[in-house]
Every structure is written in structure tokens, then in C-alpha cells.
């Protein structure tokens, strides 16, 4: 259950990064709505990270934070490509892949 909470928290991390990007592109009432979405997403994301690190099946802090951050980073890069027309380059995909491999490796060596 804690892993599910952590993954959902990582998705909300992507949400708060996207909402900040959209707030940068807007003004007035629309900007404030994106900032409100940012507050909601960051609150949910942090709460789920907190819950994933507690209880019977607690995920160690270092592992939980690395996985949570990686999910958010990967989701944000993909969202940037889809929503903000950011470039797809060899190096971006290469380093994104190494991030995924590193997180999987961290999980494999964690007690």
C-alpha cells in the first residue's frame, strides 16, 4: 500500500510542477487558479510521501524520496514535451533513462 501512495504522490508532484509552468504562462485570474492547483497538488504530494514513509510497511526515507522525486521528474519531463512543446533530444532521453535505472537500482539494493 505504501508503494501505491508513493507513486500517486509522485504523480501529484508532476501536477505541481506543471501548474507552476502554466502559471508562468498566464496572468490574472487564470494564473491564480493555476497557483491554487499548485497548492493543492503540493499538499497532496507531500502528504502521500509522508504516509508512504510510515506505518508497518514503511519505505526508508532515502528510497522514498528518491523514487518520489524520480516519478515527479520523469512525469514533468514527459508533460513538458507534451504540454509545453519542449524538445525531445537524445541527451534528455538518455539522462531520463539513467534516472529510471538508478531508482530501480536503489530499490534493488535497499534493505
Q: How far apart are CA 40 and CA 23, in angstroms?
A: 14
* Residues in contact with 31: Cβ distance below 8 Å, sequence separation at least 6, in sequence order: 23
Q: How many domains does the chain have?
A: 1
Q: Are 34 and 63 in contact (CB under 8 A)?
A: no
Q: pTM score, two decimals?
A: 0.85
Number of neighbours of residue 24 by Cβ within 10 angstroms? 11
Q: What is the pLDDT along the chain (111 residues), one digit of tens a residue?
A: 899 999 999 999 999 999 998 999 999 999 999 999 999 999 999 999 999 999 888 898 988 998 999 999 999 999 999 988 999 999 999 999 999 898 888 878 876
Range of the domain at 40: 2-109
Q: How far apart are CA 91 and CA 102, in angstroms?
A: 16
Amino acid at each position: 500500500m505504501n508503494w501505491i501512495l508513493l507513486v500517486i504522490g509522485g504523480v501529484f508532484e508532476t501536477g505541481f510542477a506543471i501548474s507552476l509552468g502554466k502559471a508562468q504562462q498566464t496572468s490574472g485570474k487564470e494564473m491564480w487558479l493555476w497557483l491554487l492547483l499548485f497548492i493543492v497538488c503540493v499538499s497532496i504530494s507531500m502528504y502521500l510521501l509522508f504516509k508512504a514513509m510510515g506505518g508497518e510497511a514503511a519505505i526508508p526515507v532515502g528510497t522514498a524520496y528518491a523514487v518520489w522525486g524520480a516519478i515527479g521528474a520523469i512525469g514533468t519531463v514527459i508533460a513538458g514535451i507534451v504540454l509545453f512543446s519542449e524538445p525531445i533530444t537524445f541527451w534528455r532521453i538518455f539522462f531520463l533513462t539513467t534516472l529510471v535505472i538508478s531508482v530501480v537500482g536503489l530499490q534493488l539494493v535497499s534493505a
